[in-house]
Amino acid sequence: VIQIISSNIPVPSSVAPAHPYSGKVIALTTKHSKHRALSPAMRKELKAIVVTVQAETDQFGTFVGDVPRTETARATALAKARLGLEQTGWKLGLATEGSFQSNPFLPGYCLHVEWIAFVDESSGLEILECIKTDKTNFGHLLTKPGQDIQPFLQSSKFGSHSLIVRPNQPSGRVEVFRGVRDLETLMQTTREASEQSLDGLARLETDMRADQNPTRMEIIEALGNRLASRLRKQCAKCWAPGWGLIKVKRGIPCVDCHSPTTLIKAEIHGCGLCDHTEEQSTSDPLSFASPQYCDRCNP
Ligand SMILES: [Zn+2]
Ligand SMILES: [Zn+2]
């Protein structure tokens, strides 16, 4: 009996090829213990080891405003990641940068935008991800000793989260108290700041540094999870890590007039290194949009 075995039957391999970052060191540039939030996902998804680089990142700007930030949060995250590589000579770098905005038209509403940047200097790969959320304690209060600040302490999650205390109208060179977390220190620094202020008011601000702000740390962790699972996906053409969403295609047709609406009909996924992309439709190709999304029927 002659058995013919075709040579092009793939031989099943019991061991999947290792991810290119498996066992590699990723330099995380931070002064504020972001390692806690970012290391587990990189280890779980890539088997990569995150090592903190204690670089001086204040040059890029601080939340307290003593060093103004001149670049966008996105550009700053990238610059920080590269700084860690300059200092260590390693090839894989990681950093995050946050920005916070209150809306003058919506009192109490604040937006936290956090960017994470990953750089692979050996290939030139750069992957950026971002989360925008209103889940933040960001805020401030002007006060003086003896006033009831309980509602602010509650909304700013004081105790588990820190505050920054400083004079509202500083007279000359004054002290800024950071990382204030207990009531006794808060009372004392409020008194001092109020005495140093021309209008007698102390300014209490939420401390947004990641190690002083568990709410921000949670967002950084979620962002790290998103980045790690993106890095795990490799391009089908060149095997570069970081395959993922690069843009969306809008234009599901209106059910009444058939003109394109702003609703997303497909996602374009792509590679960070080569030009390979794939379109994934997010809706049934035969579906229509309600006229409420149509500029023509509902301008
Ligand atoms: Zn229409
Ligand atoms: Zn590719």
| pLDDT value at residue 175 | 85
* CA 167 – CA 26 distance, rounded (Å): 40
Ligand at minimal distance from the CA of 294 is 1
Residue pair 124/134 in contact (Cβ under 8 Å)? The answer is no
d(CA 287, ligand 1 centre) in Å: 14
d(CA 29, ligand 2 centre) in Å: 27
Q: What angle do CA 98, 115, 27 make, to 5 degrees?
A: 100
Ligand at minimal distance from the CA of 236 is 2
CA nearest neighbour of 81 among 57, 61, 104: 57
Ligand at minimal distance from the CA of 262 is 1
Ligand at minimal distance from the CA of 290 is 1
d(CA 228, ligand 2 centre) in Å: 17
Ligand at minimal distance from the CA of 243 is 2
Ligand at minimal distance from the CA of 234 is 2
Spell out the per-residue pLDDT of the chain, length 299, in tens.
555 555 555 555 556 678 999 999 999 999 889 999 999 999 999 999 999 998 877 777 776 666 677 789 999 999 999 999 999 999 999 999 999 988 778 877 899 999 999 999 999 999 999 999 999 999 999 999 999 999 999 999 999 999 999 999 998 888 899 999 999 999 999 999 999 999 999 999 999 999 999 999 999 999 999 999 999 999 999 999 999 999 999 999 999 999 999 899 899 999 999 999 999 888 777 789 999 999 999 87
d(CA 281, ligand 1 centre) in Å: 21
| pLDDT value at residue 2 | 59
| pLDDT value at residue 128 | 96
* CA 95 – CA 217 distance, rounded (Å): 13
| pLDDT value at residue 163 | 98
Ligand at minimal distance from the CA of 261 is 1
Provide the residues around ligand 1 (an ion) whose CB is within 5 A: 254, 256-257, 291, 294, 296-297
What is the model's pTM? 0.86
DSSP states along the chain = -PPP--TTSPPP-SSPPPPTTTT-EEEEE-SS-THHHHHHHHHHHH--EEEEE----GGG--TTSSS---S-HHHHHHHHHHHHHHHH--SEEEEEEEEEEE-TTSTT-EEEEEEEEEEETTTTEEEEEEEEES-----EEEE-TTS--HHHHHHTTBTTB-EEEEESSB-SS---EEEE-SHHHHHHHHHHHHHTBTTS-EEEEE--SGGG-HHHHHHHHHHHHHHHHHHHSB-TTT--B--EEEEEEE-PBBTTT--B-SSEEEEEEE-SSSS-EEEEESS-TT--B-GGG-TTT--
d(CA 262, ligand 1 centre) in Å: 11
CA nearest neighbour of 138 among 108, 159, 166: 108
Phi-psi region of 124 (alpha: psi -120 to 50; beta: other; left: phi over 0): left
